[in-house]
Each structure stands twice: as C-alpha cells, then as structure tokens.
Structure 1
Amino acid sequence: MKKLLTTLCALMPLFGIAQAQEFTPEQLEQVKNVREQALKSNLSWQLLESLTTEVGPRMPGSENDKKAVKWAQQQFKTLGFDKVWTEPATFPHWRRHHEAGSIVTPSKQPLRLTALGNSVGTPAQGITAPVVMFNTFDELIAAPKNSLEDKIAFVNYRMKRHIDGNGYGPAVRARRSGAVEAAKKGAIGYMMRSVSTGHHRFAHTGASGYQAGISKIPNTAISNPDADQLERLINGGHEVAVNMNIQTEDLGEGTSYNVIGEITGSQFPEQYVLIGGHLDSWDLGTGALDDGAGVALTMAAAKHISEIAQPKRSIRVVLFAAEELGLWGAKAYFKRHAEQLDNIVAAAESDFGADVVYAFESNVAANALPVVKAIAQQLAPLNIEYVNANNAHGGPDLIPLNQVTNAPIFALHQNGTDYFDYHHTADDTLDKVDPRKLKQNTAAYAVFAIMAANAKTKLTGKGK
C-alpha cells in the first residue's frame, strides 16, 4: 500500500496537467456531481431487482429472453434515453429439459451434475458406465486412442482462485473441448469438475462445443464436492461407475435482440462511448451476477450522466444478446456497425459480477493517455487504482471488436475473488449482490463514460 501511495503521489502533478488540458473546471464539477449522485442513488439496484425478479433467468431464445428484451426497451424509455432500438442476432438455439446423475458402484449415491451448453442428450434411461479420471485436460489429450471405449471420461482439474479470475482460462479449456477429446478416445460420455472456486454442491454450466467428424457425446459438469467424492473413491482403489441422464434439445437457429439505449451527444453525436453488458443468462439461476448487474449499472450510469449534463459525445448502452452461447449478439453488433467502428471513442463492458471496481486500465493510443490519467484521478476517490500497463482487453462482448479493429478499450477491473463461487449456477441470485458495491460500480462507469465523452481529445486505439 505504501508503494502504491508513493506512486500515486508521484503521478499527481501529471494528472493535474492532464485534467487542465482536457477538461474545463465546469466539466470536472459535473464529473464530481455525477460520481456523488451515483453513490447516493438506488437506481442500479432497482433495475437489477426488477430484471431478476420480474423476468428471472434469460436463456437465449426462451420466453423469458423475449420478456427481457421488452423489459430493457421499456426501462430505457422510462429512464428518458434519447434513442432506444433493437438489432437482431441469430444463435444456435439449445435447451436443457432434465438432468440427473448418480454413482452406481461401489455404492449408490446422488451426483449433482448439469448439462454443459450445446450438449447432446442421453437416451431416456441415461447412460451407465465406468469412470476414468484425469487430473488435467492435457492428460486426457495424451490418453491412448480407443482407451476409453464404453467409458465416461472425468477431468478433475481444479480452478485456482484469484482477484482477477485468471484461473478461468486454463479451467475452461476442459469445458470447451473436453467432450471432443474424450470422444476421440472412444468415450460415451464426459464429465468435468465444475469451472468453479466454490465449495457448495452446485454444478456450474457453461458453453461447450463439438467438432465436425467427431462423435457427439453427452457433456456435463459436476459440483466440486461430488468431484471430491469421485476422486476419493478412485484414488482409494474403487472401480467407480456412474449414471448420467440429461435430456436436451437442439432447436436450430434462434433469434434474439441486442437492446440499445443512447444519450445523444451535443457536439459530436455520431461519436460515442460504448458501455454495457449482456442481457441473457443461463437458466439455472436468475442471472444477477452474470450479467444482470452489468446491465443495471451501465443503464444507471448513463442515466445519472443525463441528469447532470448532456455530454459532448453520445453515450450508448448496448445490452448484448446470446453472450452465454458464444458472443452471438456482440458478433452481430460489430458486424452490423463495421463501417462506423471509428466512431467508438471508448468501450468498456461490465461482465464480472458486482464486487467493487479496484483498478482502471486502458488500451489506447499514446496521445490519449493524458485523458486516461485524468479519468484515473477522478476514479481515485472510489478507491480505484490506475494500472499504467495500457493493455486492457475489456469484457467478453468486446472480443469481436478487438478482432476487427484497434479500438480504444478500457477495463474497470472488478474484484473477482468470489465470482466463480456462483458463476453459471443456481446460486447466481440477487442476494449475492451487495447494493453498496453496486453503487460504487455505477459511479465508476458514470465517471469513466462522461469523461471519455467530454474529453478535448478524441480517444483512439493503438495504431490509429
């Protein structure tokens, strides 16, 4: 902490110069007012409560997904956004209908499992087979050909807990491609330890895929306590067999909608700051952390800005469709707007729960760094540290943007230490959100958005 304070003190003169160059005293007073308003307001909580209570889970293409689209349009209009519209996005329409599991030998025990997204189903009676355990996904890849015939593969890799969730990427490899690798070895089913840092007995779902020419086998995750149980049995020398019964359905191509609300800029309305989250959620919980919080706090942040002053550039809140099944709404949005991507002066997505924002990072051209430093100074009262690496990646829905252009990307890093305790489970519900922390997030996005919109310098990405 002492080192951090010393660094911040050393940077303060630079921050002060940056503010004077980029923002008028009146604009900085507006930033302060927006920050204070967001910290006092319950708007983001009210929006989140409404979405998770009145709509609930929002699986892409479901009736609740349709209700969520209507909900978002109405909320934008009620909040007084200048423009509100929708844009279609297609995606592979998938449903889970039933899931159950049990250990059959050496003794009968229930097994808490869930179908992974896009998984094929089992026969009506399920499948029963011996289990072969692998401690890592790489061990499964290295298994001999045909070594898993008539067996169920089980990858027991444990995700590591970290404030920035950096254990997610290594763990999710087994979710994304595990069924493919298991099928290559002859397996008739696939199970994995949930991509989770939790100790509760909830299985964590998530997107998975298949590969052309490789048999599609049922694809599941089991809760961490159940994975522990299997591990003890197998390491104790027992031959373990399980029954998995999942009933799913491939409904072909589905259509949902990105919902967009805009506060129109006074001087450069065609240029805009893009903030938002994804409107859909998995069907197990009510999608409070993933990503109801991101939806609510970005909507509220833009509303608070509009109450204080009209920004120079527009602020566009994009609620992306069908993120959970593969970023389909984001792909559609950036493809649709491909010829106007240079109009995006800053982009940030909130899709990592609702714990506090603890750090702020950019990925911008060198001439935009004075603006970044000025924003960082106004975020400091929210206990947000400036990360000077200038290598931000942004949220998942910004991946398609990063792939096609060097956009000015920002990250408002949230504390994700506990996020993967609840991620993609039935436990992702409103009670996991702390209203005070949600306010801090809202204030951070409001400060960031109004300053990016009002800066004298138009922000651009690296290489522009």
Structure 2
Amino acid sequence: MRVLSAAIGMVLASATLLPLTADAAQRQTRIADSAITVATTLRDTALASDLGYRVTESLTTEVGPRMAGSDGDARAVAWAQAKFRELGYDKVWIEPVTFPKWERRAEQAKVVGAHAQPLILTALGGSPGGTVEAEVVRFADLAALEAAPAGSLAGKIAFVDYRMERARNGGGYGPGSRVRSRAPSVAINKGAVGFLMRSAGTDSHRQPHTGITRFDEGLTPVPSAALAVPDADQLARLLQRGPQRVRMHLDCGWTGTATSYNVIGEIRGSKRPDEVVLIGGHLDSWDLGTGAVDDGAGVGLTMAAGALIGQLPKAPARSIRVVAFANEEQGLHGGKAYAQQHAKALGRHQIAAESDFGAGRIYGYSSSAPAHAQAADRQIAAVLAPLGIAHTPGEGGPGPDISPFAANGLAWARLAQDGSDYFDLHHTPDDTFDKIDPQALAQNVAAYAVFAYLAAQADGDFGSAPNTAPNTASKGARD
C-alpha cells in the first residue's frame, strides 16, 4: 500500500488557499464518491477482522527471531512467500538482497574487585568479539565523551550513561541511537579498549537493547555493548563509590556476506496494473526476542490490509504491492535494494507507506502530497477520522525502508503510531507476541487498507517523480 506523502507542511497548507488556474484545476487529484463508499465499508470490515493479528502470530510463532542472514531469516522468506499465496495475492515474487553478515554467539560481563557482581548486557550489532578487563570511565552523554581530552581513555572502558526520554512519536530515540552509532568511534579515538552504554530504551527491566553500531573508517573496532537499564544504574552507583573495573567477554562478529530477499505480494489493479501503491514492513528482526513489535506487526498488518483489498468484489484501479523488506536492522539493505532495482519505475509508484513503529494505535496521518493532491489527501484523512486518526499535514517523514526511494522522489505517507511504550520493547528479549493488542492492530489494518485503496483509486497522482536534488526527508528513528 503506497501511503500518502508526509507533508511539506505550512507551504502545502498555504498553497491550498490560493486560487487555482484552469490548468491546475484540471490537474487536481480527486477520489470519486463511489470509492469513498467502498473504502468506508472496507474500513469497518477491517476493523472487525483479526487477520492482521493472526498473520503476526504466525510469523512470530512459526519462525520466531530472524536476524538477517540467519537460518530464521531464510525460514521467514519461505514463510512470507507461502503466506502471501495463502492470503490470495495475485502475484508473489522475491528479489535478492546481499549484505555483510554479523553473528552473536555469547556475551557476559561482570564487575571485578571488592564489589564483584554480574552485569546484564548485549553486544551491539557490528561489534567485534573479544575479552576486555579495564577501569570504567563514565560520561553523562555523547557530548561529554566528545569533550574528553585526547588519550584520556587509554587502556580504559568508556561508559556513556545517557538516559533516553519517552515520547509518543519516539522523538527521544534520536539522541539515544546517536550514542550507539557514534560513541564507540569517539571512545576509540580517545584511546578506549572497550565501550559500554546505557541501552537506548525507556524500560526499567534487565533486558538490554541491541542495535547496529558502526566504526569510522581506519579505526580498529573494540568490543561494544549495551547494558540493561538497571545494570547501567547499578554501575553508575558503584562508580560513585570509587573506581571500578569491568570484565566483558563478547563472542560475535562479521562472518562474510549473506543473501536474503525482499518478499513481494501484489493485488493486481483492474485498470492500471503497472502503477502501484506500496505498503509494507521489514521481515528481519534482531535475535533477542521474536520480533513482534519490530517488525512482525508491520508485516502482519500490511499483508492483511492488502489481502482485505483483494477480497473486494472489484480490485482498485492500481495494483496494491506489499513488500516485506530484507535486513532493515543492519542498514536498510532491503529498502536500498528495492529503490535501486525499481529506480526506472519510480514514476509508476503512486505513493508508499511503511509500518515500522510497533503495533500501537495510529493517531495521525500526513503525507508529502503536493498542492495538486491536497484535496485527495483530505479525502483520505476524512475516511480515516472515524478511526481516531487526525489529519496532521506537515508532520513526520517516510518510514525507514521507503526512505531511500523517497530521497529519489517517491511520494510517501505517514500513519503515525502511538509509540509511548515502543522503546520499552525495541531490540530486546521482551519483543514478543504477547505485547500485541489485537484491537490496536485491527485499527492499523483498517487504516492501511483505507489508505492503500483510496490512493490506488485516485484520479490523478500524489507527486512521485524522479528528482535530482538531495532529499532531507527523515528516515525515521527505528533501525
């Protein structure tokens, strides 16, 4: 389902107030009343359906964790192809995605000395293996680490104790994820032989949050891990009592390359089948949990939305394409591959939307729709409104996997989910199916079905066109 573009805010809003020229009026994208009627019925049918919940249960139970390049990942690809066919999709295919393969095998840590005790941690994706025992130096945040004198961490473990803030839109994740992605390299440049961080999460459980990190070119990577939040608190309290030494052992690392697949299902359009509305989520997960909120729910609800559209008496004018993207977690590999493979067909992609922020209720809708598509954008918003979804033009950006294509000119939409508790679970062992609320997931299915159907039926476009200027649209904060 290609979701409507997330807005160029005030400019678009003000543009709709200007008088239209005759040419502009002719070009206005609109949605027929008959399509609105069908979408209203579709919305109510989807809201009463448990299909999205059942598909998500199937993936997380029958496959479980599916880290990119693992046996679970390969089983997930086979599962997705079979599930698309079972759900009645007209066309199902796979597209290869090749990437470096990272494996986690074992990990443990402890404080040594007078206050000896275990610490619960997990290796950051991309970390090398190794055993390090050294004195720990605490920093309140990334800026404090960056301000440390050159060479001041020689032979020591850097510990960044940044506490992430909870927010409905996940806004607190940006600073937390920057610690994970940037701080290890900064620490190495200061002489550190190991790196620890407070998990980028909002919970208070002994469940560490993993996630990918990267090391600047030319640096020799060091063992890098995230402490569970209570363990970060414990280490900080110990450091208040005096110097502390930590021993950590990580058995993990890169093991060559692997190939997985974007798995694609399509409901063929009745009039313009070569034009598509794209929706989807990412099929891979981290290995600690079963990838229910990240991103089993996104795969399940978009598969269900497409299937419910396929059950209508008549297919929409354009095709509905659902993509289960490969290896989002370690660098948007599936999204980048899709954008590259379909670059010449960008203009035939009507609009796209991705669900990759858990399974909370959708509370806002926005898009990148240009001025000539604003009327249709408002029509979609009006059908979404009874689901408790507000029209929020000018807010947000494209989902992670569609962001590479959006940077090239793809129109996008954002169906903003309530992520207040998303980062309690994100990238932890606690990301399991029992955390999914079936009613909230059904609301998501209904919203995506409405959006995809109406965008596919629209008389006119939503602005997808190749561009040459850099696109600064947000890639989201969920990798």
**Both proteins in one fold, TM over 0.5:** yes
1:134-153 → structure 2 map (5 Å cutoff) = 134-153=139-158
1:31-180 → structure 2 map (5 Å cutoff) = 31-122=39-130, 126-180=131-185
SS across alignment from 1:282 = coil
- 2:456 aligns with one of 424, 430, 453: 453
Contact 2:46 2:305 in 1 (8 A): yes
1:318-397 → structure 2 map (5 Å cutoff) = 318-389=323-394, 391-397=395-401
1:176-195 → structure 2 map (5 Å cutoff) = 176-195=181-200
Q: Deviations over 1:158-200 (max 9, x none)?
A: 1111000001111111101221111111111000000001111
Does 2:233 align with 1:225?
no
Structure 2 counterpart of 1:39, one-letter code: L
Q: Deviations over 1:80-105 (max 9, x none)?
A: 11110000001110000001111113
Q: Deviations over 1:367-416 (max 9, x none)?
A: 01111100000000100000022x5411111221122x222110000001
Q: Deviations over 1:88-138 (max 9, x none)?
A: 00111000000111111341111010000011001xxx2211100000111
Aligned partners of 1:360 and 1:377: how far apart in 2? Answer: 10
Return the offset for 1:21: 7.9
Name the TM-score, length of structure 2 as normaliser: 0.90
Contact 1:364 1:462 in 2 (8 A): no
Structure 1 counterpart of 2:336, one-letter code: K
Structure 1 counterpart of 2:33, one-letter code: P
Contact 2:120 2:231 in 1 (8 A): yes
Gaps of at least 5 residues in structure 2 are: 1-16, 18-27, 468-479
Return the offset for 1:458: 1.6
Structure 1 counterpart of 2:288, one-letter code: L
Structure 2 counterpart of 1:442, one-letter code: V
Aligned partners of 2:205 and 2:242: how far apart in 1? Answer: 25
SS across alignment from 2:89 = coil
Residue correspondences, number:
445
Name the TM-score, length of structure 1 as normaliser: 0.93
Does 2:404 align with 1:400?
yes
Corresponding residue for residue 210 of structure 1: 215
Corresponding residue for residue 418 of structure 1: 421
SS across alignment from 1:172 = helix
Aligned partners of 1:366 and 1:255: how far apart in 2? Answer: 41
Runs of 4+ in 1 over 3 A off after TM superposition: 461-464
Does 2:13 align with 1:29?
no
SS across alignment from 1:397 = coil
| Larger CA deviation: 23-32 vs 58-67 | 23-32
| Larger CA deviation: 207-216 vs 86-95 | 207-216
Q: CA RMSD in A?
A: 2.0
Query: Larger % of helix: which?
Result: 1
SS across alignment from 1:396 = coil
Return the offset for 1:448: 0.4
Aligned partners of 1:23 and 1:279: how far apart in 2? Answer: 32
SS across alignment from 2:280 = strand
Aligned partners of 1:45 and 1:463: how far apart in 2? Answer: 36
Contact 2:29 2:372 in 1 (8 A): no
Corresponding residue for residue 438 of structure 2: 435
Q: Deviations over 1:279-314 (max 9, x none)?
A: 000000000000000000000001111112301011
Return the offset for 1:22: 2.5
Contact 2:84 2:92 in 1 (8 A): yes
